[in-house]
Amino acid sequence: MKHKDVPSFEEIISKSRPIRNVNINHRARLTRINKLALWITAHVGSMGFFAIIFFWTISWLSWNTLAPISLRFDPYPAFVLWLFISNMIQIFLMPLIMVGQNLQSRHSEIRAEEDFAINKKSENEIQIILKHLENQNEMILEILQHIQRLNEKKE
């Protein structure tokens, strides 16, 4: 006894698409410049990079404030060269970081879409399992009723 509305295991497998690893697909589509942008985004947004910039700034400003006047190369209080280099770093890193963040965002959206597809697939499979359990319950009840009728006839 099989209910017509309960699909078989083979039907479930044939209708569902295989799960894909979107991380591998995403990495495969990245160009070298995109990989560079992601690498820069990951490293510039780290405490290590912050420490490098912090100590470079402290060293630069301390040297040009406290060193002998003849050895100072970027005089206090303007620090023109330090400001120029700092601004150049910001100008070059800002678009690269934005590109990296856009790539990370795109990857996150792809992962979210795949998660949603897997959740839908799981929900459908759970509904099918529940239908199978209902079918089994009905069959067990029918068997029990049949056994009871046989026992009643024997008595």
Residue 19 identity: I
Tell me the per-residue pLDDT of 64-83, one tens digit each, with 9 for 90 and over.
999 999 999 999 889 999 99
Judged against a pLDDT cut of 70, whether residue 131 lies above it is answered with yes
Whole-model pTM? Answer: 0.64
Determine the pLDDT at residue 5.
67
How many other C-beta atoms can be found within 10 angstroms of the C-beta atom of residue 18? 5
pLDDT in tens, 17-42: 777 888 888 889 999 999 999 999 99
Distance of CA 103 to the CA centre of its chain: 11
Task: Write out pLDDT tens, residues 83-123.
Answer: 999 999 999 999 989 999 999 999 999 999 999 988 988 88
Q: Would you state the pLDDT for residue 1?
A: 44
Alpha helices by DSSP H, listed for the chain, are 9-15, 22-29, 32-44, 47-66, 80-154
pLDDT-derived band of residue 153, with 50, 70 and 90 as boundaries?
Answer: confident
Sign of CA dihedral 80, 84, 86, 87: positive
| pLDDT surpassing 80 at residue 142 | yes
Tell me the two tokens of residue 79.
């620090």
